[in-house]
Chains A and B, each alone.
Chain A
């Protein structure tokens, strides 16, 4: 048998040249960047390989694990499933934009306090996802948090800690709201 090229241009017989690059303006964590990118570069690869913002992780590249979760205009998305060129003029927030080791974001602090991770590889995605969930304002009970955090796989199985960490911040938010 012949291992067929997975690319349609090649299957048709010719080898098409790769697409040309062009400038792409991205606003990440409040900072403007202009990158030379081909249109096929995903937002995830733009972050990791071109900007060295490696806090955003790649666990599958297929939208199946959530490790690559970032916030675009406050909404959580899988950055592996979208192209960088589609996000000019939008506000992108990655884990690096939430806090630093010296000044942790409340979710980051809660994750440390509740030991909501082991290897830490799913963690930036979990935290961005949790921030997205807070922005959505729809998770209140434990069951709701579990359900709405289920797009982020943690192979280490730190789910009990993740639930408790997110719950703590959700509860604090709603008590701030009341007072």
Chain B
């Protein structure tokens, strides 16, 4: 429609100046009058009952307003369905302060509200609570035999496809075989911003919740159902989110408690969780994976089996797609995939960046490396011999798949051809062992229903809005680019608004679908506005556009002009002024084109090349170089997209070498629930990272041709590093993270 071409450019973030000056406002930063403060008290036991709460002692302190617990919680919605949010797994959602039963360690058991923050914290430190402890089970190891196959409870979960071919027989008969188990512990999202809600009491039962969330509509739905509020009386706002990674997909107990307290006290309440409490509401589950691969003499896969077992809570069956990817990343005719859950006394796990796929790609891609060594093949050559031209799970062609180009371009950039295959065969000039490894993955390209609104004022400024989220992904920027592109305006003439239930509905910010979903809605809406503007332009006296259809014109440099003759143009601002309107508006929405899409398999792919250096005496591992080659359709903004993939690589390094929440089974409690002992990389841990976006055109996935890049960049990183460690040392580590003790 236009040729100014903002899309694809490395435009700096439009919200950059707000973020670097501290003027971007996050949930706990809204100054509302007459504010009170809440502090949550968490259960020290993993299972049992609360027998007594000594609230009186604390309520005696002047300035303490209330101690909320199951003893005085107001009567709320009764049925489970009222507590189910858009991505709730099957089962019965946790209800904060519902009764005296303790289901997991760190369960919120009380909320103290006081006139100021320090007093709330102090009062909470004084509160005595008595418990009757029961025996808990928190170890997945003891549940190996108790796995069960979950139902389809959760949106997005696909049970593994049925087996194909004869995987057992093919494995027995093949010349090269491997089987192994891979493990990683629980991990917590730990976004930098603590979960927080500022619940503003607006009088007469009306609430505005400034809440840390990846979906303002999801939270609004949850609150209105539980507290019986009208939608108009319950606005949810989140203009900036200090990192999500999945932790904000479900409404958390912080928003429940803050809003409950505000409604009860008829005062505004701010509630911020502590870093310790950030380990209490969902995690990537501790997972055991078992893989069995076999290869024919010609290096093609003869059989593939992938089975996963992970933890869930007693009350919900959390599911993610761990093994399905293994049936589609490589060509193989004999495949068996299995997936089971085991119930423990922990909180329900929660989608965490590339849920399922990040886990599955560890198992599959380390197993592929082991298999390649077993068959005497270079790991990249082995993958090329097993390239899948078709998605065998669904028996459909891919809408587009440039993974082979990723392999070639990534290898060239990394210098893979200089690798020698034998473990321990490469060293740097200081004598440190060098290891080179690869790993990759596949992720869904999905589009969800979204709506948007556009409004242009007489001075030519365009405002577009949709209740999407900004958690670092660049939403403000790419939506501004799409709108500016569609209506031929400079970036400065466009404002994009998001994160507010007063705006048109957008889906949850997750699954890498925001660009495709909200982006298409923004494009459609701007086109609808363009059509209105053309009509107005045709009303001008002597309009050169008379009789022109939308497809006959283009929007460029603030003008509407004929495609066939660029000199036939009108200035947008003149059109608006002549129309006498103060503004022109349009609404529209976008839905995936199911008819077109269901004939294809829609996926993004990547491959990661990693170099590690290992100090033999100390066992220390440094990731000195990474090349991540990604095929994810059209890239809307090279700068922000690159940052997403850089961040994904840092996450992968973290998963490979550092991150793990360790459970003390005696207490059923996470031991390292703080930022000092839950290790994530710091600047000194990160070295050269190169991101390659391989060109991939796709007009089937959605009109923008984007596949999303929030998750795919993370796939295979941890496996590539672990494989590189094997190449350096000859030690095959199968339980992540790879720590020094596993190498010495």
Please name 12 further chain A to chain B contacts, defined as beta carbons within 8 Å, in addition to the given A95-B22, A118-B243, sorted by A numbering: A4-B128, A7-B122, A7-B126, A45-B118, A49-B116, A55-B22, A64-B674, A64-B675, A120-B24, A121-B192, A157-B686, A163-B683
Question: How far, in whole Å, are A100 and B62 apart by their CA atoms in the complex?
Answer: 40
A156 and B125 in contact, given A1-B45, A2-B131, A101-B23 (Cβ under 8 angstroms): no
CB of A62 closer than 8 Å to a CB of B: yes
* A149 & B683 in contact (Cβ 8 Å cutoff): yes
Question: For residue B126, which residue of chain A has the nearest CB?
Answer: A10
Question: For residue A100, which residue of chain B has the nearest CB?
Answer: B21
* B689 & A160 in contact (Cβ 8 Å cutoff): yes
A5 and B126 in contact, given A121-B26, A121-B192 (Cβ under 8 angstroms): yes
Interface residues as binary, B227-269 with A (CB distance below 8 Å gives 1, 0 otherwise): 0000000000000111111000000000000000000000000
* B640 & A115 in contact (Cβ 8 Å cutoff): yes
Contact residue range for chain A? Answer: 35 or more
Question: How far, in whole Å, are A31 and B684 apart by their CA atoms in the complex?
Answer: 36
Q: Which of A58, A108, A118, A124 has the most CB of B within 10 A?
A: A118
In the assembled complex, which residues on chain B have CB atoms less than 8 Å from the CB atom of A157? 646-651, 681, 686
CB distance from A125 to the nearest CB of B (A): 9
In the assembled complex, which residues on chain B have CB atoms less than 8 Å from the CB atom of A104? 17, 20-21
In the assembled complex, which residues on chain A have CB atoms less than 8 Å from the CB atom of B130? 1-3
Question: How far, in whole Å, are A157 and B31 apart by their CA atoms in the complex?
Answer: 30
* A60 & B21 in contact (Cβ 8 Å cutoff): no
Interchain residue pairs with CB less than 8 A apart (12): A3-B128, A5-B126, A41-B118, A56-B22, A59-B675, A100-B23, A111-B20, A120-B240, A146-B683, A151-B682, A156-B243, A160-B646
A119 and B650 in contact, given A18-B63, A57-B193 (Cβ under 8 angstroms): no
* A59 & B21 in contact (Cβ 8 Å cutoff): no
A67 and B13 in contact, given A62-B275, A101-B23 (Cβ under 8 angstroms): no
Q: Which of B53-61, B320-328, B339-347, B734-742 is found at the contact surface with chain A?
A: B53-61
A101 and B126 in contact, given A64-B675, A118-B473 (Cβ under 8 angstroms): no
- Report, nearest first, the 10 A-B pairs whose CB atoms are least far apart: A55-B22, A157-B650, A121-B242, A118-B472, A120-B19, A119-B472, A64-B675, A157-B647, A54-B29, A101-B17
Partner of A59 from B41, B122, B133, B192 at Cβ < 8 Å: B192
Q: Which secondary structure characterizes the binding site on chain A?
A: loop
CB of A71 closer than 8 Å to a CB of B: no
A18 and B118 in contact, given A48-B29, A119-B471, A158-B646 (Cβ under 8 angstroms): yes
Q: Which of B116-175 contact A (CB under 8 A)?
A: 116-119, 122, 125-131, 133
Question: For residue A163, which residue of chain B has the nearest CB?
Answer: B683
Q: Which of B16, B244, B640 has the most CB of A within 10 A?
A: B16
In the assembled complex, which residues on chain B have CB atoms less than 8 Å from the CB atom of A146? 683-684, 686
Question: For residue B470, which residue of chain A has the nearest CB?
Answer: A119
* A3 & B243 in contact (Cβ 8 Å cutoff): no
In the assembled complex, which residues on chain B have CB atoms less than 8 Å from the CB atom of A121? 26, 191-193, 242-243
* A155 & B190 in contact (Cβ 8 Å cutoff): yes
A127 and B20 in contact, given A40-B118, A160-B646 (Cβ under 8 angstroms): yes
CB of A176 closer than 8 Å to a CB of B: no
Partner of A101 from B21, B57, B60 at Cβ < 8 Å: B21
Question: How far, in whole Å, are A64 and B682 apart by their CA atoms in the complex?
Answer: 11
CB of A24 closer than 8 Å to a CB of B: no
Question: How far, in whole Å, are A1 and B667 apart by their CA atoms in the complex?
Answer: 12
Contact residue range for chain B? Answer: 35 or more
In the assembled complex, which residues on chain A have CB atoms less than 8 Å from the CB atom of B60? 15
* B16 & A112 in contact (Cβ 8 Å cutoff): yes
CB of B186 closer than 8 Å to a CB of A: no
* A54 & B22 in contact (Cβ 8 Å cutoff): yes
Interface residues as binary, A136-179 with B (CB distance below 8 Å gives 1, 0 otherwise): 00000000011101111111111111110000000000000000
Question: For residue B37, which residue of chain A has the nearest CB?
Answer: A49
CB distance from B282 to the nearest CB of A (A): 16
Question: How far, in whole Å, are A29 and B211 apart by their CA atoms in the complex?
Answer: 29
* A119 & B191 in contact (Cβ 8 Å cutoff): yes
CB of B744 closer than 8 Å to a CB of A: no
* B473 & A162 in contact (Cβ 8 Å cutoff): no
Q: Which of A6, A45, A100, A113 has the most CB of B within 10 A?
A: A6
In the assembled complex, which residues on chain B have CB atoms less than 8 Å from the CB atom of A156? 192, 243, 472, 643, 647
* B61 & A7 in contact (Cβ 8 Å cutoff): no
Question: For residue B192, which residue of chain A has the nearest CB?
Answer: A121
* B683 & A113 in contact (Cβ 8 Å cutoff): no
* B683 & A99 in contact (Cβ 8 Å cutoff): no
In the assembled complex, which residues on chain B have CB atoms less than 8 Å from the CB atom of A95? 20-22
CB of B377 closer than 8 Å to a CB of A: no
Question: How far, in whole Å, are A67 and B243 apart by their CA atoms in the complex?
Answer: 13
Question: How far, in whole Å, are A154 and B683 apart by their CA atoms in the complex?
Answer: 8
Interface residues as binary, A35-53 with B (CB distance below 8 Å gives 1, 0 otherwise): 0001011000100110011
In the assembled complex, which residues on chain B have CB atoms less than 8 Å from the CB atom of A57? 26, 192-193, 242
Q: Which of A1, A61, A117, A121 has the most CB of B within 10 A?
A: A121
CB of A79 closer than 8 Å to a CB of B: no
Question: For residue B119, which residue of chain A has the nearest CB?
Answer: A18
In the assembled complex, which residues on chain B have CB atoms less than 8 Å from the CB atom of A154? 192, 683
A155 and B57 in contact, given A5-B127, A38-B118 (Cβ under 8 angstroms): no
In the assembled complex, which residues on chain A have CB atoms less than 8 Å from the CB atom of B681? 157, 159
Q: Which of B133, B194, B241 has the most CB of A within 10 A?
A: B194
Question: How far, in whole Å, are A58 and B57 apart by their CA atoms in the complex?
Answer: 30
CB of B639 closer than 8 Å to a CB of A: yes
Question: How far, in whole Å, are A59 and B676 apart by their CA atoms in the complex?
Answer: 12
Question: For residue B20, which residue of chain A has the nearest CB?
Answer: A108
CB distance from A166 to the nearest CB of B (A): 9
CB of A90 closer than 8 Å to a CB of B: no
* A15 & B20 in contact (Cβ 8 Å cutoff): no
A108 and B643 in contact, given A61-B275, A147-B684 (Cβ under 8 angstroms): no
